Amino acid sequence: MEDRGSHYLRELIRMLVRNLGVLEKSEASCCGTTLSQCHTIVEIGRAGEISLNELAELLNLDNSTISRSVNNLVKQGLVVRETDPEDRRYVRIRLTKEGYGVYEAVESSMEAYFERIFTTIPEEKREQVLESLQILIDAVRKNKCC
C-alpha cells in the first residue's frame, strides 16, 4: 500500500508541477524574462534588497547559477548589483524601477490566477488543501532529493 501511495503522490506532484510550469512559462515570457529570471525577480522584489548568497539559498540554487541570472537581469536593466563598501564580499541586489514594474506585473497576474484556483476548490476543503500543502512542503524539506 505504501509503494502505491508514494507512486501516486509522485504522479500527482508531477502533474501539478507540469500544469503550473506551463502557466509560469507563459507568464514569464510575457514579461520578457526566462522562468529562472522571473523567480529571481519575484524573490528580489519581495525582499526589497537581498544578498547574492541569500538569494541563492532562497531559490535553492548555487551561487554561480544565481550570479549568471542576476548578471543577465543587470544587462536588461531590471536589477542593480552593488558591492557593500564596508564588506566587499557582500553583494546587495535590488530591482530597478523597470524591474519593479515586471515584479508587480508578475505578482498581480499570479495573485489573480491563484485566486481563481482557490475559489474553484470547494469552500469546505480549502483549509484542508492549504494544510496538506504545508505538510507536503515540510516533508520535502526534510527529505531533499539526490
Per DSSP, the residues of the chain read -HHHHHHHHHHHHHHHHHHHHHHHHHHHHHTTS-HHHHHHHHHHHHHSSEEHHHHHHHHT--HHHHHHHHHHHHHTTSEEEEE-SS-TT-EEEEE-HHHHHHHHHHHHHHHHHHHHHHHHS-GGGHHHHHHHHHHHHHHHHHT---
Largest CA distance in the chain: 59
State the cell numbers at 92.
546587495
Domain limits for position 56: 2-142
Cα–Cα distance for residue pair 38/88, rounded to 1 Å: 27
CA dist., res. 23 & res. 120, Å (int): 17
Least confident of 33-37, 53-57, 82-86: 33-37
Is the predicted pLDDT of residue 102 greater than 70, yes or no?
A: yes
The answer to whether 45 touches 13, Cβ cutoff 8 Å, is: no
CATH of the domain at 61: 1.10.10.10
Q: Which amino acid is at 21?
A: G
pTM for the predicted model, two decimal places: 0.76
Above 70 in pLDDT, residue 31?
no
More confident residue, 11 or 80: 80
Amino acid 1: pLDDT = 45
Domain count, the chain: 1
Task: Give the per-residue pLDDT at 23.
Answer: 52
